[in-house]
Structure 1
């Protein structure tokens, strides 16, 4: 039995978020959540990859990330294109690996940093710090301590996997892993992927819940929660921050699922099915995906009703007839 115990304690806020998240998951299961919606699952996976890489300063847009994954040529930095390919392959391993296996951890790191790092799949052999831009939040423990620290963390998770709620365990792991910073590079990407892995073993929906997109939106708050927890000597602030973001993402996802299903014409359902969230489309491209030739029919039965219901928005709202007009499903 390991004597190691990460420094944290349960609060009323944590328990409240756990209850709220569990309730939202129940609703998603009732709606048959993501299982019957492959486009929504894939779109959320793309969101996860794009946001996780954007946090690490990858400059590719979500559309360019989608193009890379579709096998199209993208005129971007070669390293950033490789990061996208690696991240997709790494996330694709989630169903095959164990959250409690250090060997699996190294295996996934080898994939996520493939052709990018000399120490891919190996713990670091030098000192590193955790940075928010140019600001150092804290210096990670000496590299010689990494194997023991990771071993303690993974043993603690394995021994407590049936005692500690996965939502709490995932958040604790996230903070502790960032603190240890076991690899020379790729720690942030690995942390967020492994957090998703822990949650997906509890509820498979989490495999396609883009928690990373919420962290990316509140990146300064994310780093502040890490810094404040480090100053306090426990991870409570960070745990509450992460649980709040998960709760909010599930609220958005519930709304997406309901809006796709609720009282929509077959025309709208068909159009929303071929469009992916957050990706801009031209009129021509949507019509091609739907196999339509009549622009009048498309506008009358598909586009105008979608805009009226707020399911699709114009990229240039003040100039609805602009030749550069695009449409985004929200």
Structure 2
């Protein structure tokens, strides 16, 4: 179908989010902290993978996902472990994706679903529905129409990539992709991966921004927005929802990179550099990493200031002197 255009309306709310997101991305890029901090980049990627797979009912915890990626043995279903390995390979190559290529889409679906989906890297041949838990949100278009619908969508993206803002274009793609449901399995994972790939082509920093983790926090609202768009026959509500989530997650990223602020002492910067996100540390293990011997000096110059600035949280805040106390970089 020539000149196909997915139906949506540019609202004032959408324009407001685009402006806010662009401003926040500009600030984060100017600070350049994500590029300079491999631990932060890796942690955000792990969050993306864990959240995207959790939405699809993968039961492994964030810690288990991290262990799989780090090559450690993890007790769990082999299928779930393989899903993590596949996703890590796919996200690691995200900068290589041409998001306007159906050939690349099929290639990366093959990577994302290797060993776990029979029709890996191929459009579905059977009929499928979109589910939220056990509830069917809607039945996808018949399989015979999938190739043509995908050609229309990718043709529109190719023609519109210079006239439609990437934040809006990626959101429209996300919804239309979920609606078409082109694969027998892995559609949600691919929609979120491709959304990030489109934004990464616009601003490379998006490669390390865990949009998926924000969507996972509001999973019910995510499916609700999709369902409302199905009823309305256009994607405006979904665009507003997804841009709101991106705007929110950028606030978290801004907080993460704030540790580069010049008001931080060299002591605090050094401690934050040796800590990975979401990993609990004892004071002894932190002192060993920092090669310190004085407990009082560690508490006075490193630990207390970081806690007061909300850069580190205690796992047992009600009992600050507990022998089981751990400290987590947030």
TM-score above 0.5: yes
Counterparts of residues 286-297 of structure 1 (less than 5 Å): 286-297=286-297
- Tell me, in whole angstroms, the C-alpha distance in 1 between the residues paired with 2:173 and 2:60: 28
Matching residue of 2:242: 242
Q: CA deviation at 1:197?
A: 0.2
Matching residue of 2:274: 274
Q: CA deviation at 1:293?
A: 4.4
Q: CA deviation at 1:328?
A: 1.3
- Tell me, in whole angstroms, the C-alpha distance in 1 between the residues paired with 2:243 and 2:282: 37
Q: Does residue 29 of the first structure (1) align with residue 6 of the second (2)?
A: no
Counterparts of residues 35-74 of structure 1 (less than 5 Å): 35-74=35-74
Q: CA deviation at 1:294?
A: 4.3
Distance 1:55 1:123, change over 3 A: same
SS across alignment from 1:281: coil
Matching residue of 1:112: 112
Distance 1:80 1:297, change over 3 A: farther
- Tell me, in whole angstroms, the C-alpha distance in 2 between the residues paired with 1:241 and 1:53: 20
Distance 1:305 1:278, change over 3 A: same
| Unmatched runs of 5 consecutive residues or more in structure 2 | none
- Tell me, in whole angstroms, the C-alpha distance in 2 between the residues paired with 1:292 and 1:76: 38
Counterparts of residues 1-330 of structure 1 (less than 5 Å): 2-330=2-330
State which drifts further: 287-296 or 60-69. Answer: 287-296
Distance 1:82 1:286, change over 3 A: farther
Instruction: Tell me the matched-pair count.
Output: 330
Q: CA deviation at 1:141?
A: 0.8
Q: Is the 8 A contact 1:260 1:272 kept in 2?
A: no
**Deviation string, structure 1 residues 22-50 (Cα, Å, up to 9, x no partner):** 11111112212411122211111111111
TM score, norm. by length of structure 1: 0.96
SS across alignment from 2:116: coil
Q: Is the 8 A contact 1:2 1:156 kept in 2?
A: no
TM score, norm. by length of structure 2: 0.96
SS across alignment from 1:35: helix
| Unmatched runs of 5 consecutive residues or more in structure 1 | none
